[in-house]
C-alpha cells in the first residue's frame, strides 16, 4: 500500500510540475516564428484612480511597468498567453479572464486556470489574422477591501 501511495504521489507531482513549466518549440518554420514570441506573460497591477480601481498591463517582453497605463498586449498567432498578478499588484485574486464576444478571431474562449498557481492561460489560434484586436474582460478582486472590478483590455495581433 505504501509503495502504491508513493508512486501515485510522484505521478501527481510530475503532472503538476509539467503543467507549471513551459517548453518552447524551436522547430517552427512558419514565417512569423521570428516576429512573435511563443510565450507571453501579462502581469496585472491594480491602481487606485479616484474611487475606483483600474488595471495596468505589462508584457513579459516590455520589462517593468512604466508610467503609461496600458490596456492591451501585443501577441502573435500561436502565442501562449498567461495572465498573472504582478508583485505588489493590489489584486487579491483573478476571477475571470474571458472574451467579450464568442468566436472572436484571437481569444478562443475563457482562459483556463493553471493548477495551484492562480494564473490564467490561453493559446491564440494559429489562424489569428494580422492587425486585429479583440477586447476581453478581466474581473479581479482587489486586495484593499475585496471588491470585484471588471476591466475590458484587449489583445492585438500586431507586427513587431
The closest of 107, 82, 95, 90 to 138, measured between CA atoms, is 95
Give the pLDDT confidence score for residue 26 in this predicted structure.
35
Give the pLDDT confidence score for residue 61 in this predicted structure.
63
Give the pLDDT confidence score for residue 122 in this predicted structure.
92
Mean pLDDT across the stretch 18-30? 40
Say yes or no to pLDDT of 127 above 80: yes
Say yes or no to pLDDT of 29 above 80: no
Q: Count Cβ atoms below 10 Å from residue 1 Cβ, excluding itself.
A: 5
Is 36-157 assigned to CATH 3.40.50.1000?
no
List the domain boundaries for the chain.
36-157
Rounded-to-integer distance, Cα 90 and Cα 45, Å: 7
Alpha-carbon radius of gyration of the chain:
18
pTM of the model: 0.69
Rounded-to-integer distance, Cα 58 and Cα 49, Å: 18
Share of the chain above pLDDT 90, in %: 7
Mean pLDDT across the stretch 121-137? 89
Secondary structure of 97-157 in HEC code, one letter for each residue? EEECCCCCCCCCCCCEEECCCCEEEEECCCCCCCCEEEEEEEEEEECCCCCEEEECCEEEE
Q: Are 142 and 101 in contact (CB under 8 A)?
A: no
- Averaged pLDDT score across all residues of the chain: 75
Q: What is the pLDDT of residues 39-93, one digit of tens each?
A: 888 888 888 888 888 888 887 766 655 555 667 778 888 889 999 888 888 899 8
Mean pLDDT across the stretch 29-47? 67
Amino acid at each position: 500500500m505504501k509503495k502504491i501511495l508513493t508512486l501515485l504521489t510522484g505521478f501527481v507531482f510530475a503532472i503538476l510540475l509539467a503543467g507549471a513549466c513551459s517548453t518552447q518549440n524551436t522547430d517552427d518554420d512558419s514565417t512569423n516564428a521570428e516576429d512573435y514570441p511563443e510565450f507571453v506573460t501579462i502581469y496585472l497591477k491594480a491602481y487606485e484612480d479616484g474611487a475606483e480601481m483600474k488595471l495596468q498591463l505589462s508584457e513579459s517582453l516590455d520589462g517593468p511597468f512604466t508610467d503609461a497605463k496600458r490596456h492591451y498586449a501585443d501577441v502573435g498567432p500561436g502565442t501562449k498567453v498567461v495572465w498573472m498578478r504582478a508583485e505588489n499588484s493590489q489584486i487579491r485574486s483573478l476571477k475571470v479572464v474571458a472574451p467579450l464576444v464568442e468566436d472572436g478571431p484571437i481569444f478562443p474562449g475563457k482562459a483556463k486556470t493553471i493548477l495551484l498557481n492562480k494564473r490564467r492561460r490561453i493559446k491564440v489560434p494559429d489562424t489569428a489574422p494580422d492587425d486585429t484586436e479583440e477586447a476581453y474582460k478581466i474581473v479581479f478582486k482587489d486586495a484593499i477591501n475585496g471588491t470585484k472590478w471588471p476591466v475590458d483590455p484587449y489583445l492585438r495581433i500586431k507586427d513587431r
